[in-house]
Structure 1
């Protein structure tokens, strides 16, 4: 096992705990989701040997290949990439979480295609909090209506919101973007929706996300090291 990966994971847990304690939060209220896209199944196995169980994947075929290679392990798989109509069945059948639901038609297909003998699929609505035209996600002013529709679908459990704000190194700007997501999350609860999850924050901004209430932070390079992108067209 790579000692570097073990050291990175330990350092990251320390940073996560400090970030939570700095804002009077319990570190146990924040789940570290290891984003393993582009890393091979051996890298995932190394992290799992350290006791980590929650892994996030963006590329569907790559994720399914890893799941087969790691079928002997008790892991929780999150799909955190965009979900097109031709992906819904395999996401519904092979993952515990889907983080990027942003259209009712996608939620309906996930609901219809979730196996009846499986637990409900945990879903988060992706919100385009920065209004970037190049990004997916439901506009903030349409999120409450969509959340109400999704929450009524069978075999799905609406857990909360997911967001990827425009990247910036300015801590105040990071917090302001995450605060907008938190306020929307609080509005969902005010409308009676039993949401409990804010999936936001990555390697470069997760401390700001935790300060604004993140319950899942999605971390890749800070655990696994530099990411290399081979030709992935066949895996998307």
Structure 2
């Protein structure tokens, strides 16, 4: 990677961080209360390395084998890997072994497999966000809101997992108030289900086009790909 490319990486990352900070200030959030998860799926390892050199530690991947290949190339770096894709039963062992977070847990069967495999590997509990399908789209993963309490109860009882909070992937919208609505719904669900023992402190919501709306409604982690890495191109 040449100096010009590195300058672009730095500028994009600085711009995203500035957007997050501005949203925190605008909506009365504590400075630094919203973490950036850099979504690095279909981005090359060298670009992830460049982003890391500017202080980014957490990266999100959706394709298990692609992620494992990149992790091998970046094994010299202390990176925090988050799985944000659709979970497949035949890939749960790799997810349990190679990731510290899972953002799209929406099935008790997958939860059982991940927890058992995590325990068998002798690793610390896998940190999980339960995915809620607020749009009702059949193409979207996650549980319907009314099924969330049962899933939370089931997953909370599984050794090898630690339920950190909730995640959603709403339908796209260009209208700011429309963007805020599903994020407000997710926050309300969290507030209903949180307990002192299980505060569900993480709200994983918001992407490049709607991060301000997510921060307005309580996001603690935004998942940003294009705005950090530029347009995706399969490497």
The one-character-per-residue Cα deviations of 1:164-189 (angstroms, maximum 9, x if unpaired) are 00001110100011101110111111
Equivalent in the alignment of 1:199? 204
Q: Residue 88 of structure 1 contacts residue 106 of structure 1 at CA under 8 Å; is this kept in 2?
A: yes
Deviation of 1:192 (Å): 5.7
The alignment's TM-score, normalised by the length of structure 2, stands at 0.95
Q: Residue 97 of structure 2 contacts residue 121 of structure 2 at CA under 8 Å; is this kept in 1?
A: no
- 1: CA distance, partners of 2:50 / 2:33: 24
Q: Residue 77 of structure 1 contacts residue 96 of structure 1 at CA under 8 Å; is this kept in 2?
A: yes
Deviation of 1:120 (Å): 0.8
SS of equivalent to 1:143: helix
Deviation of 1:191 (Å): 8.9
Does 115-124 or 57-66 show the bigger shift? Answer: 115-124
Deviation of 1:4 (Å): 0.7
- 1: CA distance, partners of 2:219 / 2:185: 12
Q: Residue 16 of structure 1 contacts residue 27 of structure 1 at CA under 8 Å; is this kept in 2?
A: no
Residue 38 of structure 2 corresponds to residue 34 of structure 1 = yes
Equivalent in the alignment of 1:148? 153
Equivalent in the alignment of 2:85? 81
Residue 78 of structure 2 corresponds to residue 66 of structure 1 = no
- 2: CA distance, partners of 1:91 / 1:190: 28
Deviation of 1:134 (Å): 1.3
Deviation of 1:229 (Å): 3.9
Instruction: Choose from 50, 55, 60 the match for 2:59.
Output: 55
Matches within 5 A, 1:1-236: 1=3, 2-114=6-118, 115-190=120-195, 193-229=198-234
**RMSD (CA atoms):** 1.3
The one-character-per-residue Cα deviations of 1:18-53 (angstroms, maximum 9, x if unpaired) are 101111111311110000011100000001111110
Number of equivalent positions: 230
Deviation of 1:194 (Å): 2.9
- 1: CA distance, partners of 2:183 / 2:37: 18
Q: Residue 38 of structure 1 contacts residue 229 of structure 1 at CA under 8 Å; is this kept in 2?
A: yes
- 2: CA distance, partners of 1:10 / 1:190: 36
The alignment's TM-score, normalised by the length of structure 1, stands at 0.94
